[in-house]
Amino acid sequence: MESFDTYQTPLSSRYASKEMAHLFSSANRFHTWRKLWLNLAIAEKELGLPISDEAIEQMKANLHLDAKQFEIAAAEEKKRRHDVMAHVHTFGQVAPAAAGIIHLGATSCYVTDNADLIFIREALTLLLQKLAVVIDRFSAFANQYRDLPTLGFTHFQPAQLTTVGKRTTLWLQELLWDLRNIKRARDDLGFRGVKGTTGTQASFLALFDGDHDKVEELDRRVTALSGFSYAYPVTSQTYSRKIDVDVLAPLASFGATAHKLATDLRLLANLKEVEEPFESTQIGSSAMAYKRNPMRSERICSLARHLMVLQQNALNTASVQWFERTLDDSANRRITLPEAFLTADIVLTTLQNVSEGLVVYPKVIARRISQELPFMATENIIMAIVKAGGDRQEAHEKIRVLSHEAAHQVKQLGLENDLIERVKNDPYFDPIKGQLDALLEPKSFIGRAPEQVDKFLAEWVRPALAEEELQGALGKASKAELHV
C-alpha cells in the first residue's frame, strides 16, 4: 500500500523492463560499489600493500546487501551526510578484517563515477540487444510487403506510388544508424580508474612510497578487474562530463527515429491502411466505443520527446564543471542518466510490440490508389496515344479537360474519381482502350521498390544483425508484452 501513497516515477513503476530498472537500482549500485572496493583492495594487495587474505575473503563474501545493511547505511548517511562514507562504514561492519583498508587512497568518485560507467556500458548493451530485435521484426515486415503498392506522400499530399515494404526500409535505415551510433558509444567507453581526489593520483603515490610504476599498474589492474580495456588517460576528480554528452547523443537521435516512425504509423492508422496491434478487450475511448486509438505509437512519441531533450541536461552539466569539479552535476545526473536509459528501453519494448502485430489492409490501400492513380497515369495514356499515331498536344488537352472534370467530381461533389470512365467514353481514346488496364496496373508504378527492399535487407540489415552478440539476443528474444 505504501507504493500508492508515495510518488514513483512511471518509468520504473509503470513501463520499464525489469532488467533496466534493476540496473539502476540502489541494490545494484551499492553492490557495484562493493565490487569496486574489492577490486581496489585486490590490486593494492598484489602490488605489495599489507592487506590480509581474510580481508579479501570477507569482502568477497559480502558483496550483496541485505535489508538490515540498507537500514544501517541509511542511518549512517543521515548521521554523516555522505552516502559513500555511509557505505564504507556499513561494508566494514560485515567485513571487519577489511574495515581499515576499504576505500584506501580513493576518493568518492572512485566508486560513484566508475559505477556509473559500468551501468552505462551495461545499459547500452541492453539497448543494442533490444534494438536488434526491433530491426529484425521490421525487416520481416518489410520483406512480407516488399511489393505491395501503396500511395506515397510528399508534404502529406498524394505522390507517386511506393510499396509498404519500401517505406519500412526508410524506418529501418535510421534504426540501423542508431544501432551503429549506440554501439560506437558503448565500445568507445572507458573507465575512470584510480585517479585520486583531483586526478593527480597523489594519494596512491604516497601509498606506494613514490613508486610511479606501481601507481600506473594499480590503475591498469583495477581497470582490468572491472572489465574495461582502458581507462581515460587523464581525469579531474570525475571523468569528464562530456562522456555523458557522447552517450546521450545516440539515445536522443534514436528518440527522433522512433518519433518519426511512430508518427508515420499514427498517420497510416488515420488512413486505415496500417494499424498497430489492438487487443480484443482493449478500449480506445471511454466515450466513443468504436475508436481504435494508436495508443502504442502515441506512447512512443510521448516518451521519445522526453528522450530527445535529456541530452540538453548533459550538455549544460558538462559546460559548467569548474576546474577539477563542482557538485552541481550530482543531482542532475542521478535523474538524467537513469531516465535516459529507462526511457529508451521503454520505447524499444513498445516498438517491438508494435512491429510484432502490425495489421495491413490491402483493400483500403488499393482503393486509395484507385482514387489517385488515374491522375498519375495520364502521362502514360498520352504516351500510348502518341505511339498509336496521335498528336501529343491534342492528347494532353483532352486529358487535361477530363482530369479537371473528374477532380470536380471528387472535390466538389464528394464522388469517386471517374477519370478512367471518362477516358473510356471518349472516342478519341478508342485506339488505346484495350491497353488501359495495363496502363493502370499499380505495380508498373512502383519502380525498383521491391528490388530495393531485397538488396537493402541482404546487404545492410542482415550483415548488421549477424554479429554474435546480436544473434544471441535474437535467439533469446520472446514476443514483447506491452506494459500498462
Q: Which set of grid coordinates corresponds to residue 234? A: 587523464
Tell me the C-alpha distance between 484 and 477, whole Å.
20
Tell me the C-alpha distance between 347 and 252, whole Å.
12
Tell me the C-alpha distance between 438 and 301, whole Å.
41
- Of 81-85, 290-294, 345-349, 430-434, the one with minimum mean pLDDT is 290-294
Count CA within 13 A, CB hemisphere, residue 332: 17
Cβ atoms of 460 and 173 closer than 8 Å: yes
Within 10 Å of residue 212's Cβ, how many Cβ atoms?
Answer: 11
CA nearest neighbour of 136 among 397, 466, 412, 426: 466
Q: Which set of grid coordinates corresponds to residue 41? A: 583492495
Q: Please check whether residue 419 lies inside any domain of the structure.
A: yes
Cβ atoms of 208 and 214 closer than 8 Å: yes
Q: How far is CA 314 from CA 21, 232, 233, 235, in A?
A: 21, 19, 22, 18
- pLDDT score recorded for residue 403: 87
Cβ atoms of 292 and 279 closer than 8 Å: no
Q: Please check whether residue 123 lies inside any domain of the structure.
A: yes
Q: Are residues 80 and 132 in the same domain?
A: no
Q: Please check whether residue 62 lies inside any domain of the structure.
A: yes
Q: Please check whether residue 25 lies inside any domain of the structure.
A: yes
Q: Please check whether residue 157 lies inside any domain of the structure.
A: no
Q: For 405-464, write each residue's pLDDT tens digit.
A: 888 888 899 888 888 888 888 889 888 888 888 888 899 899 999 999 999 999 999 999
Q: Which residues contact 366 (CB under 8 A, 6 or more apart)?
A: 149, 442
Q: Are residues 292 and 343 in the same domain?
A: yes
Q: Are residues 331 and 424 in the same domain?
A: no
Tell me the C-alpha distance between 451 and 355, whole Å.
22
Q: Please check whether residue 211 lies inside any domain of the structure.
A: no
Of the residues 106, 124, 155, the one at which a domain ends? 106
- Marked catalytic residue, from 3, 155, 280, 286: 155
Q: Are residues 7 and 64 in the same domain?
A: yes
Q: Are residues 27 and 175 in the same domain?
A: no
Q: Which residues contact 161 (CB under 8 A, 6 or more apart)?
A: 149, 150, 151, 152, 369, 373, 376, 442, 445, 446
Which residue reads 516488399 in cell numbers?
Answer: 146
Tell me the C-alpha distance between 245 and 201, whole Å.
26
Cβ atoms of 31 and 118 closer than 8 Å: no
Give percent of the chain with pLDDT exceeding 90: 75
Q: Which set of grid coordinates corresponds to residue 172? A: 529501418
- pLDDT score recorded for residue 418: 87
Three-class HEC string of 414-444 = CCCCCHHHHHHHCHHHHHHHHHHHHHCCHHH
- 430 lies in which domain range? 378-439
Q: For 120-148, write each residue's pLDDT tens digit.
A: 999 999 999 999 999 999 999 999 999 99
Tell me the C-alpha distance between 288 and 284, whole Å.
8
- pLDDT score recorded for residue 476: 86
Residue 156 — left, alpha, or beta (φ > 0 → left; ψ -120 to 50 → alpha)? left
- pLDDT score recorded for residue 283: 46
Q: For 63-113, write each residue's pLDDT tens digit.
A: 999 999 999 999 988 888 889 999 999 999 999 999 999 999 999 999 999
Q: For 215-257, write each residue's pLDDT tens digit.
A: 999 999 999 999 999 999 999 999 999 999 999 999 999 999 9
What's the domain count of the chain? 3
pTM: 0.90
Q: Please check whether residue 400 lies inside any domain of the structure.
A: yes
Q: Are residues 138 and 267 in the same domain?
A: yes
Q: Please check whether residue 21 lies inside any domain of the structure.
A: yes
Cβ atoms of 194 and 40 closer than 8 Å: yes
pLDDT confidence bin for 287, thresholds 50/70/90: very low
Cβ atoms of 307 and 219 closer than 8 Å: no
Q: Are residues 121 and 69 in the same domain?
A: no
Give percent of the chain with pLDDT exceeding 70: 96
pLDDT at 179 over 50: yes
Q: Are residues 393 and 435 in the same domain?
A: yes
Q: Are residues 140 and 69 in the same domain?
A: no
Within 10 Å of residue 271's Cβ, how many Cβ atoms?
Answer: 15
- Marked catalytic residue, from 26, 52, 229, 285: 285
Active site residue 87: no
Q: Are residues 182 and 312 in the same domain?
A: yes
Active site residue 306: no
Q: Are residues 344 and 396 in the same domain?
A: no
Q: Are residues 338 and 242 in the same domain?
A: yes
> Tell me, what CATH number does 14's domain have?
1.10.275.10
Cβ atoms of 304 and 259 closer than 8 Å: yes
Q: For 363-392, write each residue's pLDDT tens digit.
A: 999 999 988 888 888 888 888 989 989 899
> Tell me, what CATH number does 305's domain have?
1.20.200.10
Tell me the C-alpha distance between 442 and 366, whole Å.
9
Helix (H) or strand (E) holding 153: strand 149-154
